[in-house]
Structure formats: C-alpha cells, structure tokens
Structure 1
Amino acid sequence: MDPSRRGVLSVALFSVAVTVPDWPDVVGRIEAAQKGARTRIGMSDVHTVTAMTEQLSTMDDQFGGRTARPLAAAFLVNTVAPFLRTDGPEDVRKAMMSAASDLCYLTGYMAVDEGLHGLAQRYYLKALEFAGASEDHLTYCTTLRGMSVQAVNLGQGPTAKRLADAAAAASPQAGPRMRAFLVGQQAHAAAQIGDRRSALLYLHAAEVAMDKAESRGKVFGSYDPAALNYHTSRVRFEMGDVHGAIAAMEESDRLRDDIYRRTRAHHRAILAEQQLSVGYLEAACHTWGLALDDYPLVNSGRIDQRMTDMFHLIRPHLRNHEAQALYERARAVVRPELIPV
C-alpha cells in the first residue's frame, strides 16, 4: 500500500470533529448503573484494577497493542464493569471510577497502536466520562493529550492543537513533569500547523519543566528525557530541520529504557525514514535493522505500517549491498501480508 494513503484514512476519521466534553460538563456526573451480582466493593477491588492496569501497560510496552488490548478489553468487560455496577462507600466508588478511567485510556491507546482509530476514540471518550465522574484531573488531561497524539500522528494538526490546548488548560496546577508531558505535545501540534514561534516556546517550556522534574527524581508514567527528545525530534522535523530531528531522535533512542520495546521499534523506524530522507542510506539500513531485531516480539499495527513503508522506501536502492541485505532480511521477518509483491 502506498504510504500516502494514511492521509486519506485520517481525513475520513477527523472530517467531523470529536465532541469533547469540557471538565465542568463531566465532573461528578455519570449515568446510574444497575447493581451487579456482588453486594459491595472495597478498596481492595480498586487496588486489583489498578495493579492489573499497570501489568497491562507493561505488556503493551513490551508486546504491542494487538497483544495487550484484547486482554484489557476482556478485563474491562468481565471484571471492571461489574465492579462499577456494585454498591460501596462513596470514596470507594469514586476511586473505582478513577481506576476505570485509567484503564479506558490505556485501552484506547492500545487501539491506536492497532490502527483502530474509531474504537480508540470511543475508549477515550469513556475515559473522559469516568474521569469527570471521579474528579480525576490527571486522567482527564492525560486522555485529552492522548487524543491529541492520535490526531497529530494522523496529520490533523488543528484538531491536535485544540486537544493539546484543552489538556493543558484543564490542568492549571500541574507539576513540572506533568507540565512537560502536556506542553511537549502542544509543541508538536503547533509545529504541524506551522506555528513555529509557539512550537519553540512550548518546547522550551517543556525542557525547563523536565529539568525541574528530573531534579526531583519522581517519574510520571513514561514521560522522561527520552520522550522529550522524541517531541523535540518531531518539532524539528515538522519545521524542516531534518538533521536536528535526527540528532534528537538518536538521543531519544540512547536514553530510552529497554522496557519500552514497542516504542523503541516504532521510533527507530521513524529515525530510519528521517535518515534516508537526507541521503544517509547505510545509516538508515542499520537503524531499520535494529527495529527488525524487536519486530518478531511486538504485535503493533503502527510498526507494521512502518515496515510496509520501509519496503517501498528501500526498493529504489536495492543495488546497494546493505539495502539489499536489509530487504531480504525484512522479507524473512515481516508478516507475509505486509510484503509488497
């Protein structure tokens, strides 16, 4: 498939803007649910959902959305939904809705990784609903940011910027790492719509916030210097500074923890495309080779798409020995249906 077809898909998805509820419209509100079979829930049940969500997130990081999302969806339907239909103390019910919100956000993120964008949006909107009902600002903002990431990666800059701005506006008291997490995404979205000045201001704000966060030593999710360098790379690339984008992506790769295998493979494929775009053919082949090292262990629609793109991009260079070797190795490793005839 021609890589440019992704643009057609994204236009169809975002042709009608998703209606995102503002924080005051969702806080403390949710439809009444019927009672389930259990008579009462407690904080131990909340802890079960939280612990399971953490395990599912780790699986997603290591094995990709296609592997982890069916497990997350089953847990959500079979375990979390009955908890939500069961009576309990008010503080426990709010905590359970907060935990459900986090799980819905994660499941939506996994659906994005699969390429199931409409399904992802439905999970994201449910995450916003639960976050408002439980007054969980953190997950509310994180979900809006996730929706912005989805939009910017599909080339829908204005939508991405609107969602990134909404996420930042809904979290005025964010700590430094959360602020870096939010404004880094604003930078990427601003760069995509050509607002160079704002993109650089947001990127600088993210760097300052990350410096403060690192000095405190507390980790927020997976947003760390590796993630910030990834945002720097995307901003540079959107602004036409491909060499700067390559340098930042290489630094991101150097800093990334090994646990994030899916992200590593995906971002290495992006780096290889950047390297090839400025004529670094052999470097690109080496980087794609590193992505192929992880490929058999990761089941990800995003990475599959990058591998399909790789075949098209490398084919004109098959007279080069390293390009030919990469092409043949990829044919032996990549899923057969992704290999162009």
Structure 2
Amino acid sequence: MDPSRRGVLTAGLYSVALGIPGWPDLVGRFEMLRTDPRMRIGMAEVRSVMAMTERISDLDDQFGGRMARPMAASFLVNTIAPYLQADASEEVRKAMLSAAADHCYLTGYMAMDERHDSLAQSYYMKALGLAGHAGDHLTYCTTLRGMSVQAVDLGHGSTAMRFADAASAASPQAGPRMRAFLAGQQAHSAAQTGDKAGALYHLGIAEVAMEQAESKAKAFGSYDPSSLAYHEAKVRWELGDKTGAITAMETSDRLRYSVYVRNRVRMTGMLAEWKLQAGRLEEACADWHRALDDYPTIQSGRADDRFRSMMAMVKPYQGNRHARELYDRARPMAKTA
C-alpha cells in the first residue's frame, strides 16, 4: 500500500483550474492538529527531518522519483505527521512545519516524476498550507514554481503562467538566485502560450539575476547556469528557433553537475529528439546512446517517456546503420519502461 494514501492526502484528477491559496490567506490560518501530550519535540527532531529530506532528494536526483518517493511518503506518515502533533515551543513548531512543507514539496515533485500528476498536485497543495502556517516564504514560492513546472510539462501553458506569476508576486524580497529561478519558469511558461515578448522579457530578467547570483557565491543544488540554459533552450524551441534551442540545451548539458543523473537522461533524450527533428540523425543517435548509458539505473516515469519517444522516432530509420545499432541496443531495455 502506498503510504502517501493512508489518510494523509486524497488525490483526484489533476485540476487545471486549481485555485492558488494566497500567502496572506495561509499565514496563521492552517488548521492546527491535535497535540499529543505524550510526545515533545525540539530542534533535534527538526534537523533530523531536514537531513532525511536532503538525503531523499539526493536519491531522487540520482535514481528518480519511482525509487525514492515510497521512502519519502513513509517518512511523512510515520515520522513527520506525529512530530506535527507533538508538544513543542512556538519556535520549534514553526520550524517543523517548514521542514514538513519542504518534504511535502519534494514528495510532490517525485510523484510528478513518476507521472502521478494528481497525487503530486495534492502534495503541492499540502506544502503550500504548511509553508503558510510556518511563515516560510521560500518554500511557498518554490512550491508554486513546482506547480508551474508540472503544468507546463503537461502542456497547460496558461495555467503554468498563472502559477509562475503567483510565485514571483509572492516573493518581492527574493535574492538574485531565487529571482532567476522564478523568472526562468515564467519565460518557459510564456513561450508555451506563444507570448514571445513576455518570454524574452522574463528570460532577460533571469539572465541578469543569474549573473548577480554567480558573482556572489556558487550554490550547488539550487538554480544554476545549467538550469538557466535549459530554460533558454525551452523558450527558443517553443518560439521556433530550433538551432538556438539545440545550442542552449548543449550548453545546459555541459554545465550540469554529474550527480543529476535522472535529469541528464531526460535532457539528453530531449536534445536527441530535437536534433532528429532538425535532420541531424547521427548526432541524435550519439546523444541517445549517452542517455542509454544511465537509463537502466533510473526509475522515472518522465525518463520512460523519453525512452518510448526515442524508440518511436528512431524506428523508421532502420536503414541507417547508426539508427539500427541504437534501436538494437535499446530493445532489451524496453521492459524497464
């Protein structure tokens, strides 16, 4: 049984028209859980939740959401939920709510990676509520941005733009890296709706903010130049600039940290698809071979999407030696998809 469904969340169909809980409406209004007087927690328990979330995030980056999410869901039900009901000081309670919000956001992201999109949306809504009660602006905005990523990934550009704009509006005091993080998503969402001027405007904001962020300090594990190059690639592709999109995606691939194995499989597969559509068959096959090097270790619905797309796209080219070799190599891996 999936622990995430044991009374913690109820997931229906993915809702395009989902309302966005405003920050002022959430702060201080989250329904308080019944306190268990037999348990009291302190900052040590908060730190343990934060550490566990970080470790699970590392596993997700390396192996994909299908491998890591059951662990996250179980930890949410069996450990975090009782902590939220435990007796605690106000400082500790807010810190635990914030840690729980971040964990819910991560679990939602992994559910999205598995292609359990309605379940992911439910986790995201729970994360927004927890973040609001904790006064955690960062996780609130990050979650809205995650909801935008999910919407644009499903082809709902207008919904993605609504979430991205809400995230940006809720973070007026954000630092440069967070501004780049949010503006990059706004650019991608705008491009999907056909708003070229808006897409280029937000991409310009993201580029300036990233320059400011990189001049101050490197931030491994957050929005970085590879992520910005990916957003540039998606914007250019949506706006019809195939050559520019391929170049930007190659830049993203070159700058990506090696620990992000799941993303490397997905993005390399996407790059290969674009190259094939641009008539660059042999280059596409070479990129797909790179994706297949890591694919057997990845448990990800979105990576499986790229695998199935590769098999469908390369099959008509079996008269070409490079395409035939790729197809023959990939066929035994099809069971993993």
Give TM-score scaled by structure 1 length: 0.93
Residue in 2 that maps onto 1:3: none
Matched position secondary structure for 1:33: coil
Per-residue deviation, 1:28:
1.8
Q: Tell me the equivalent position of 2:272.
A: 272
Q: Which amino acid aligns with 2:245?
A: A
Question: Partners of 1:208 and 1:32 in 2: how far apart?
Answer: 41
For residues 334 and 283 of structure 2, the distance between their equivalents in structure 1, rounded to whole angstroms, comes to: 20
Partner of 2:229: 229
> Secondary structure of the residue that 1:335 maps to in structure 2?
helix
Q: 1:59 maps to what in 2?
A: 59
Partner in structure 1 of residue 293 of structure 2? 293
Q: Distance in 1 between matches of 2:259 and 2:221?
A: 13
**Counterpart residue number, 2:138:** 138
Q: 1:222 is paired with a residue of what secondary structure?
A: coil
Which residue is equivalent to 1:180? 180
Range that drifts further, 187-196 or 34-43: 34-43
CA contact (8 A) 2:33 2:85 kept: yes
Structure 2 runs not aligned, ≥5 long: 1-12
- The code of the aligned residue for 2:254 comes to R
Q: Describe the superposition over 1:88-112 as per-residue Cα deviations: whole angstroms up to 9, x where unpaired.
A: 0000000000000000000000000
| CA-based RMSD | 1.2
Q: Is the 8 A contact 1:178 1:220 kept in 2?
A: no
Write the deviation string for residues 107-159 of structure 1: whole angstroms up to 9, x where unpaired.
00000000000000000000000000000000000000000000001110000
Structure 1 portions without partners, runs of 5+: 1-11
Alpha-carbon distance in 2 for matches of 1:266, 1:80: 31
Secondary structure (helix, strand or coil) at the match of 1:13 reads coil
Does the aligned pair in 2 maintain the 1:37–1:82 contact within 8 Å? no
- Give 1:313 deviation, angstroms: 0.6
Query: Aligned partners of 1:68, 1:37: CA distance in 2, in Å?
Result: 32
User: What is the rounded CA distance, in whole Å, between the counterparts of 1:35 and 1:74 in structure 2?
Assistant: 21
Aligned-pair CA distance for 1:29: 2.0
Q: Which runs of 4+ in 1 moved over 6 A?
A: none
Contact 1:177 1:220 in 2 (8 A): no
Aligned residue identity for 1:258: S
> Is this contact kept in 2: 1:177–1:213, CA < 8 A?
yes
Residue pair 1:295, 1:334 contacting (<8 A) in 2 also: no
The verdict on how the C-alpha distance between 1:144 and 1:248 changes in structure 2, with shifts beyond 3 A counting, is same
Provide the rounded CA distance (Å) in 2 between the counterparts of 1:93 and 1:245: 46
Does structure 2 retain, via aligned residues, the 8 Å contact 1:232–1:248? yes
**2:10 corresponds to:** none
State how far apart, in whole Å, the 2-side matches of 1:46 and 1:256 are: 31
Would the aligned equivalents of 2:157 and 2:189 in 1 still touch at CA under 8 Å?
yes
Q: What one-letter code is carried by the residue in structure 2 that aligns with 1:208?
A: V
For the residues of structure 1 that align with 2:125 and 2:208, how far apart are their CA atoms?
Answer: 31
Q: How far apart in 2 are the matches of 1:219 and 1:267?
A: 21
Q: Indicate the residue corresponding to 2:4 in structure 1.
A: none
2:222 is aligned with what amino acid?
S
Q: Is 1:334 paired with 2:334? A: yes
Task: State the AA in 2 paired with 1:191.
Answer: A
Residue 33 of structure 1 is matched in structure 2 by 33
SS at match of 1:208: helix
Deviation (angstroms), 1:228: 0.3
Partner in structure 2 of residue 150 of structure 1: 150
Distance 2:218 2:92 in 1: 26
* Structure-2 separation of matches of 1:186 and 1:334: 35
Q: Structure 2: how far apart are the matches of 1:98 and 1:236?
A: 36
